[in-house]
Amino acid sequence: MGDAIRLAANEWPEPTPMGRYLTAGDMERVVLNRYPGSGPATELREILAARYGVAPDQLTFGNGSTDTLLGLFLMFGGHGRTTLVFTPTFPIHMRLATIAGGAVARENVGLPYEISAERALAAVERTAPHVVLFCTPNNPTGGLIGDQVILSVAERYPGTLVLVDEAYGDIAGTTLLPALADHPNLVISKTFSKEHAAAGLRMGILVYHPDLAEAVRAAQLPTNVSVVTYALATRIARDEGTIRSRIAEIRSERERVRRGLSGIEGVEPFPSEANFILFRVGGDPVRVYDRFLDEGVLLREMSSWGCPGCLRVSIGTPAENDRFLAVAARVLAPTPA
């Protein structure tokens, strides 16, 4: 069977050793005795601000987006406040809002995951939330939410925080960053865990309107990210060519995996702009999950996320995708009557 392959967490599949980014000289320059302060973040702030088309002080950093989002929920979505999410979506969002002490309201979109502006506005009207969360592309469904849907909420409800999780936005090639200047209640979340191939580093970024950024900085912990993380993240961010080629590879491999799944009778892959594909199977998804596992392929079973009959596969290396498709052809083929 060979080694098991993990296609379950939407990570970049090839190892990225730290030594690829930090030289011995860098290690001498990164000193550990002082608190991080604002200095070690300066270069990363400048590189990302230029890429995002914003000013450097519109960014805040944290230990992955789970950390930046928890901070945001503590500030805007805590006790006595409500966060609206459109399900099925990334369950960590709901967990973070709950940990922060807030309530979660759900609008169940189901499959296919298509949200119209009318539906989004009606959900906001119904639940009167303090924070509305849009995840685009959405995990686990993979598709996009239209910019106009999100902006119509931000415009109709200027006193509500509209948080857009763009963890997979660079893979899709879409972003609402240009809308930030005219929408002070919009916040955009980014991460180094996907096409930056650094899920283990833990680097999350929030991008705010300048006015909101100032208020958030006043409340934020000043030393929440280590100098080591900043040094590595700066090197990774500078390596734009590699990031672009990873995105191109993910897109072409994703299409190959999607075509392979579509060719199996009874299997329905959902369109994806991200580095994973949600697919519906004919039989019991838990049994299908177990059969993949028996063959050394770890997937994610998705009924517990509100996608009945579905599994999610992360896009792996070309060799891993070959192996996934070979196992899929055996495991998912309809059994003769």
Binding site for ligand PLP (CB under 6 A): 10, 64-66, 90, 135, 139, 165, 167, 191, 193, 199, 204
Nearer to ligand PLP, 207 or 332 (CB): 207
Nearer to ligand PLP, 139 or 321 (CB): 139
266-271's contacts with Cβ under 8 Å and 24+ in sequence apart are 266/332, 266/334, 267/328, 267/332, 270/111, 270/112, 270/113, 270/141, 270/142, 270/143, 271/142, 271/143
Q: How far is the CB of 212 from ligand PLP (least distance, A)?
A: 20
Nearer to ligand PLP, 198 or 213 (CB): 198
d(CA 196, CA 255): 20
Q: How far is the CB of 88 from ligand PLP (least distance, A)?
A: 12
Q: How far is the CB of 193 from ligand PLP (least distance, A)?
A: 3
Q: How far is the CB of 307 from ligand PLP (least distance, A)?
A: 14
Q: How many CA atoms lie within 13 A of 161 on its CB side?
A: 25
Nearer to ligand PLP, 96 or 331 (CB): 96
Q: How far is the CB of 69 from ligand PLP (least distance, A)?
A: 7
Strands 276-280 and 268-269: antiparallel
Nearer to ligand PLP, 63 or 116 (CB): 63
Query: 244 — alpha (psi -120 to 50), left (phi > 0) or beta?
Result: alpha
Site of tokens 């098991």: 4
Contact by Cβ (8 Å): 324, 7: yes
Nearer to ligand PLP, 164 or 264 (CB): 164
Strands 204-208 and 59-62: antiparallel
Nearer to ligand PLP, 64 or 260 (CB): 64
Q: How far is the CB of 74 from ligand PLP (least distance, A)?
A: 16
Question: 180-209 burial string, b = 16+ CB within 10 Å, else e?
Answer: beebebbbbbbbbbbbbbbbebbbbbbbbb
Considering only CA atoms, which of 132, 135, 130, 124 is closest in space to residue 90?
Answer: 135
Q: Which two tokens stand for residue 322?
A: 């070959």
